[in-house]
Amino acid sequence: MAVAVVWQSVPLIQSQLLSRQAEPRIVVARGNLAEDEVATIELFRTARDSVVFISTAERVIDPWTRNVYDQPRGTGSGFVWDELGHVVTNAHVVEGASRATVRLADGRSFSASLVGADPSHDLAVLRIGVAASRPDPLPIGTSGDLEVGQTVFAIGNPFGLDWTLTRGIVSALDRELPAGRGMVITGLIQTDAAINPGNSGGPLLDSAGLLVGVNTAIFSPSGTNAGIGFAVPVDTVNRVVPQLIASGRYAPPTLGVRTDPRVDALAARSNIEGVVVLGVERGSAADRAGIVPAEISRDGQIVPRDVIRSVGNIEVASTQDLVAALDGFEVGEEVTLRLWRGGDEREVEVTLDAGR
């Protein structure tokens, strides 16, 4: 039996293939997102408008023409603090800048004025004049009750990629970082939420969308995220920022004593535990409490009298420890000092003075 063979031309076959390829594919419904995804999306939508992009410039003089112009210096992040247009960021974001511009999430840009800065905590406050449609301030949480393993979120502008959200956990608490000029920032939150250059000054939020820290630094051999970032805890922010707004500077409480890190080392080698008091300001908290400073012997040796061993429940072994301990209290607050003198210990109550 003969078989009829029908040959199709190549163009006809191609048109049939294209016809089949052009047919729409079946779309599968996404379904409901997981609860944690929905919560994260809502957190970002709620907080985004309160986060700002900060760009700074430095005024330079052309050595040949003597013309003065602004040269771009860097970028960073920040967030709206209150209804008065105050914006919180890192001190290092605006350090050395002659001009700062704050851009809001809705695209508006404002020239900012510097209200005050505190390098010892790497915090600064700017102010912008937002006449209408002011962004809401971020709601403030607490950091004293943070737990390692708790979920946190960072929002900022890494590498100029504006309004970026990253997620991680609290990796550790009470970390320390050198801040330059002999200063050390204490009590930092460590997180593995991705933080990169440009994130500085942006908020660290908990899963409720509350501010728990201000992103400030990373530890990385390459200069990019390595899973070790640090944030200034919000309890510190909430203590420092109101003073910066009120007076332009932060003055921690003080005892009115004079100490010296070099003497701390000498005392440690002599098995003296604590901070040797070298001087007491007249009329200060220490003077009112009857604290006695060290004396100088005839042969020029320091003879310790009162040695501070603890402030409240915080033990101190160096001048740095003492400064950090006092920073956790308020001016006018009454605290207990544990003192050592000649082998005997005693406790005295002092009312802290304002620093100068």
> Do residues 347 and 295 share a domain?
yes
Q: Residue 3 falls within a domain, yes or no?
A: no
In degrees and rounded to multiples of 5, residue 133 shows phi and psi of 50, 50
> Do residues 157 and 209 share a domain?
yes
Q: Where are the alpha helices (DSSP H) in 81-174?
A: 91-94
Neighbours of 163 (CB within 10 A): 17
In degrees and rounded to multiples of 5, residue 316 shows phi and psi of -125, 135
* Confidence class for position 1, pLDDT limits 50, 70, 90: very low
> Do residues 109 and 180 share a domain?
no
User: Bridge partners of 175?
Assistant: 188
Residue 267 has pLDDT above 90, yes or no: no
Q: How far is CA 43 from CA 34, 37, 82, 103, 289, in A?
A: 14, 10, 19, 21, 50
- Out of 12-16, 82-86, 104-108, 192-196, least confident range: 12-16
CA 112 to chain centroid: 20
* Confidence class for position 167, pLDDT limits 50, 70, 90: very high
Tokens linked to 278 = 């070298």
| Mean pLDDT calculated for residue range 291-303 | 84
Contact indicator for 86, 243 with CB cutoff of 8 Å: no
User: Which residue's structure tokens are 């957190």?
Assistant: 43
| Residue percentage of the chain with pLDDT more than 90 | 47
Neighbours of 26 (CB within 10 A): 5
Q: Residue 132 falls within a domain, yes or no?
A: no
Which one from 120, 200, 284, 310 is the annotated catalytic residue? 200
> Do residues 199 and 217 share a domain?
yes
Residue 5 has pLDDT above 50, yes or no: no
Q: Residue 140 falls within a domain, yes or no?
A: no
Residue 63 has pLDDT above 90, yes or no: no
| Mean pLDDT calculated for residue range 327-352 | 89
In degrees and rounded to multiples of 5, residue 224 shows phi and psi of -120, 175
Q: Where are the alpha helices (DSSP H) in the chain?
A: 10-21, 35-48, 91-94, 234-247, 261-269, 285-288, 319-327
Contact indicator for 123, 150 with CB cutoff of 8 Å: no
Active site residue 118: no
Q: 228: domain range?
A: 151-247
> Do residues 242 and 262 share a domain?
no
**Residue at which a domain ends, from 247, 280, 297:** 247
Which one from 122, 206, 321, 353 is the annotated catalytic residue? 122
**Residue at which a domain ends, from 220, 247, 274:** 247
pLDDT of residue 6: 45
> Do residues 229 and 281 share a domain?
no
Query: What is the sign of the dihedral through the CA atoms of 255, 258, 261 and 267?
Result: negative
Q: Residue 42 falls within a domain, yes or no?
A: no
Query: What is the sign of the dihedral through the CA atoms of 156, 162, 163 and 164?
Result: negative
277 vs 259: CA distance, rounded Å: 6
> Do residues 332 and 313 share a domain?
yes
Q: Residue 183 falls within a domain, yes or no?
A: yes
This prediction's pTM: 0.79
> Do residues 279 and 237 share a domain?
no
E-strand ranges in 181-236 read 183-191, 203-206, 211-218, 229-233
> Do residues 259 and 313 share a domain?
yes
CA atoms within 13 A on the CB side of 96: 9
Q: Residue 86 falls within a domain, yes or no?
A: yes
> Do residues 344 and 292 share a domain?
yes
Residue 223 has pLDDT above 70, yes or no: no
Query: Total domain count for the chain?
Result: 3
297 vs 305: CA distance, rounded Å: 12
Highest mean pLDDT range out of 16-30, 231-245, 284-298?
Answer: 231-245
216 vs 229: CA distance, rounded Å: 8
> Do residues 155 and 189 share a domain?
yes
Active site residue 92: yes
CATH of residue 79's domain is 2.40.10.10
324 vs 52: CA distance, rounded Å: 30
pLDDT of residue 15: 60
Q: Residue 221 falls within a domain, yes or no?
A: yes
Residue 77 has pLDDT above 50, yes or no: yes
pLDDT of residue 220: 67
* Confidence class for position 135, pLDDT limits 50, 70, 90: very high
> Do residues 303 and 335 share a domain?
yes
Q: Residue 13 falls within a domain, yes or no?
A: no
**Residue at which a domain ends, from 231, 247, 263:** 247
User: Which residue's structure tokens are 């052309």?
Assistant: 62
Active site residue 122: yes
75 vs 94: CA distance, rounded Å: 9
- Which of 109, 115, 231, 125 is closest to 168 using CA atoms? 231
Phi-psi region of 122 (alpha: psi -120 to 50; beta: other; left: phi over 0): left
